[in-house]
Structure 1
Amino acid sequence: MQLTPEINLILNHLQKIQTFNAKDSLDDIRKYLETMSFQLSGKKEAVSVIEELEIPYGNRQIPLRVYYPKGKMTQHSSAVIYIHGGWFMAGGYETHDAVARKLANTTGSVIFFINYRLAPEHPFPAGLDDCLDASKWIIEQSESLGIDRNRIGIIGDSAGGALATAVSTQIGELLKFQILIYPASDNQLNSTSWSTYENGPVLTREGGIQAWKWYLPRKEENNPLAVPALMKDFRSTPSTLVILAEHDPLSDDGRKLAENMENAGVSVQVSLYKDMVHGFMHMGEILNEVQTAVNEMASFAIRNLEAENLD
Structure 2
Amino acid sequence: MEFTSPISQIISHLEKIQSFNAQDPLDDTRKYLDTMSLQLSGKKESVAMIEELNIPMDNYQIPIRIYRPKGKTAQKSSAIVYIHGGWFIAGGFETHDAVVRKLANKTGSAVIFVDYRLAPEHPFPAGLNDSIDAVKWVVDHAESLGIDKNQIGIVGDSAGGALAASVSTQVGELLKFQILIYPAADNQLNTKSWEIYETGPVLNKEGGIQAWNWYYPDGKNNPDPLAVPVLIKDFKNTPSTLVLIAEHDALRDEGELLAQHMKDAGISVRTRFYKDMVHGFMHMGEVLNEVEQAANEMAAFAHQHLEIAVEKEA
TM value normalised by structure 2: 0.96
Aligned mates of 1:57, 1:73 — CA distance in 2: 31
Q: Post-superposition shift, 1:108? A: 0.2
Cross-structure match for 1:159 = 159
Are 1:48 and 1:73, in contact at CA under 8 Å, matched by a contact in 2? no
Paired residue type of 2:27: D
Cross-structure match for 1:66 = 66
Q: Post-superposition shift, 1:75? A: 2.3
Cross-structure match for 1:271 = 272
Aligned mates of 1:138, 1:233 — CA distance in 2: 25
Cross-structure match for 2:236 = 235
Aligned mates of 1:306, 1:27 — CA distance in 2: 42
Paired residue type of 2:211: A
Q: Post-superposition shift, 1:181? A: 0.1
Cross-structure match for 1:90 = 90
Cross-structure match for 2:47 = 47
Q: SS of 1:94's equivalent?
A: coil
Show structure 1 runs of 4+ deviating over 6 A.
none
Paired residue type of 1:214: W
Q: What do residues 167-197 of structure 1 show as CA deviations (whole Å, max 9, x unaligned)?
A: 0000101100000000000001111111111
Aligned mates of 1:53, 1:207 — CA distance in 2: 32
Alignment of 1:74-223 (within 5 A): 74-218=74-218, 222-223=223-224
Aligned mates of 2:201, 2:112 — CA distance in 1: 30
Paired residue type of 2:250: P
Aligned mates of 2:32, 2:72 — CA distance in 1: 34
User: Any stretches of 5+ residues in structure 1 without a counterpart?
Assistant: none
Moved more, 102-111 or 221-230: 221-230
Paired residue type of 2:265: A
Are 1:114 and 1:131, in contact at CA under 8 Å, matched by a contact in 2? yes
Q: Post-superposition shift, 1:47? A: 0.1
Aligned mates of 2:242, 2:224 — CA distance in 1: 24
Cross-structure match for 1:292 = 293
Q: Post-superposition shift, 1:21? A: 1.9
Aligned mates of 1:236, 1:272 — CA distance in 2: 25
- Is 1:16 aligned to residue 16 of structure 2? yes
Q: What do residues 196-231 of structure 1 show as CA deviations (whole Å, max 9, x unaligned)?
A: 111111111111100100000316851011000110
Aligned mates of 1:73, 1:60 — CA distance in 2: 33
Aligned mates of 2:226, 2:56 — CA distance in 1: 23
Are 2:89 and 2:211, in contact at CA under 8 Å, matched by a contact in 1? yes
Q: Post-superposition shift, 1:49? A: 0.3
Moved more, 138-147 or 215-224: 215-224
Paired residue type of 1:176: K
Query: What is the aligned residue count?
Result: 307
Q: SS of 1:272's equivalent?
A: strand
Aligned mates of 2:163, 2:13 — CA distance in 1: 30
Paired residue type of 1:222: P
Are 2:235 and 2:267, in contact at CA under 8 Å, matched by a contact in 1? yes
Q: SS of 1:218's equivalent?
A: coil
Identity of aligned residues (%): 68
Q: What do residues 236-261 of structure 1 show as CA deviations (whole Å, max 9, x unaligned)?
A: 00000000000001010000000000
Aligned mates of 2:12, 2:285 — CA distance in 1: 16
Q: Post-superposition shift, 1:45? A: 0.1
Q: CA RMSD in A?
A: 1.1
Aligned mates of 2:34, 2:122 — CA distance in 1: 20
Aligned mates of 1:305, 1:104 — CA distance in 2: 14
Q: Post-superposition shift, 1:145? A: 0.5
Cross-structure match for 1:226 = 227
Aligned mates of 1:141, 1:297 — CA distance in 2: 25
